[in-house]
Amino acid sequence: MKTKLCLIIGLLFIQFAAYAQTSATVSTKMSKLIDEQFNFAASQYKLLAKRTPPDRMPKTYYSKTDSLETSDTKWWTSGFFPGSLLYIYEYTHDQQLLEEAERRLNILEKEKHFTGHHDLGFMMFCSFGNAYRLTGNPSYKLTIDTAAASLATRYRPNAKIIQSWGSSANWQCPVIIDNMMNLELLYWVSDKGGEARFKEIAIQHSNSTIKNHFRPDYSSYHVVDYDINTGKVLKKPTAQGAADSSAWSRGQSWGLYGYTMMYRFTKDSTYLNQARHIASFILDSPNLPKDGIPYWDFDAPGIPNALRDASSAAIISSALLELGQYTFGKEKRRYVSTAEKMLRKLASADYRARTGENGGFILKHSVGSIPHKSEVDVPLTYADYYFLEALLRYKKWYL
């Protein structure tokens, strides 16, 4: 009996030693990979800054014509460029990148009053939120507070949601799954001394989205149209997915990220469980490629020859790393190892640009909207932003 016990203990020790050695090897490789990505990103974003007019924000790049597409500051992606500059500065401490971020913040600041759509979180928190976190500049917090008040004007109490887009011939009060991402702005401001109603709006919107946006398998519709007076659901169409009934990949990533974030703020297990269910839908899907980079829609026609979407993978990897902070054992390891696999693939030559190419963007092969034939198989600012965020999260939490 004693001999058998010693044998068991010896085997456990060997397994533990092997696991520790493997973990150390993984940590060393990931540390090197992260360092390489940020050094590369610094050189690319200096190039991108030079190519972008001082009163515009980069949007995408078309390699066939070597043309950079830019946007004004009202476009929903306008906060990602300064946000990415700040992430790169956070890692590299390159003062030139901070100065460039500050110049871009100066042209974006006026949008704190914008109420034309729901994307104030993307625009103002990914930018000014990171700027305030890194610098403590009180003027940045005032901008964030004002932006939250502007976003709150889109709350529709009868439906208990934040209206995403304006009314049109297609819908009365559309809400898209992307809107979960903008709730961080509201909740953060409430927690930092702002109006308590902002967090209540975020909670109401989250609860309505759980109720109306998700199918029994925890995949998400893209758009839910509400009757603005009664709150009744009118229809559940798509704008960017393959079909009304399909699981548009970036929509699934927004949902995963959004409910993980809401659990961070509230510690309400409803949100944690929702995030876990969405993660299971994504990771258990027979249509998720082995390398973890999703097709642009989980039900896209032409699989396995459909286009992949690097932006979805970047968002999912960042969300999984945070979800790993709230889970344990095999579940935690699955989330972290999957995120690591995605990041390694995104950092490979298959998805990451070469120095001086891709217009200055980091990642290739993202998909904006195939139904609109817009931004198809191109770099996108938010793909870069969430890729950088995921790398920083891995370094902070798992190295």
Binding residues for substrate, by number, are: 119, 178, 238, 250, 254, 369
Task: Return the closest-CA partner of residue 82 out of 100, 62, 95.
Answer: 100
DSSP secondary structure string, 317-384? HHHHHHHGGG--HHHHHHHHHHHHHHHHHHTSTTTBPPTT-GGG-SB--EEEETTTTEEEEE--HHHH
> Six-digit token pair at 202?
């975020």
Rounded to an integer, what distance in angstroms lies between the CA atom of residue 387 and that of residue 279? Answer: 18
Phi, psi angles (nearest 5°) of residue 58: -70, 145
Q: Is 224 helix (H, G, I), strand (E, B) or coil?
A: strand
Burial, 133: exposed, middle or buried (Cβ in 10 Å; 0-12, 13-18, 19+)? exposed
Residue 92: in which H helix or E strand, if any?
A: helix 80-92
* Helix runs in 176-268, H state only: 183-191, 196-213, 249-266
Catalytic center residues: 119, 178
Residue ranges of the binding site: 119, 178, 238, 250, 254, 369
